[in-house]
Amino acid sequence: AIEPEESGGGSVQTGGSLRLSCYASGFPGTNSDAGWYRQTPTNECELVASISSLKTMYYLDSVKGRFTISKGDARNQIFLQMNDLRPEDTARYYCAADGPLLPRITCAYAPYRLNTWGRGIQVTVSS
């Protein structure tokens, strides 16, 4: 499995913005969907956003209109721009690719189902 490099997390107040970055091989452009998951309080991972090799995008309903996923100029980069952050967005976010990006997966099994899975990066939104 490939462990990508994730960055851009941190702590912000409600209404703030953060931009997550992910660098790894196996991203869109190599016939691979890529996206971001976040860990829920029940230790499941929910798909927040994804982008296909054809630039088709998916967003979790609760983040539509606030988050934007994009590809970098290089083939091995994806980004997640998060605006108007809310306390319920607080979670550990994981970069994922090269495998089935299901709406929900068990976080512990993710590294075995996806060839690219990050260590995660913390996003904390305070009220």
Helix (H) or strand (E) holding 112: helix 110-113
**Could you give phi then psi for residue 75, rounded to 5 degrees?**
-70, -15
Checking if the pLDDT of 26 tops 90, the result is no
* CA angle (105 as vertex; 88, 98 as ends), nearest 5: 110
CA dist 38 → 31, 45, 54, 121, 126 (Å): 23, 5, 23, 9, 17
For range 94-98, the mean pLDDT = 92
The model's pLDDT over 67-89, given as tens digits with 9 standing for 90+, comes to 999 988 777 889 999 999 999 99
pLDDT at 31 over 70: no
Tell me the pLDDT of the chain averaged across its residues. Answer: 92
Distance between CA 50 and CA 103 in Å, rounded? Answer: 10
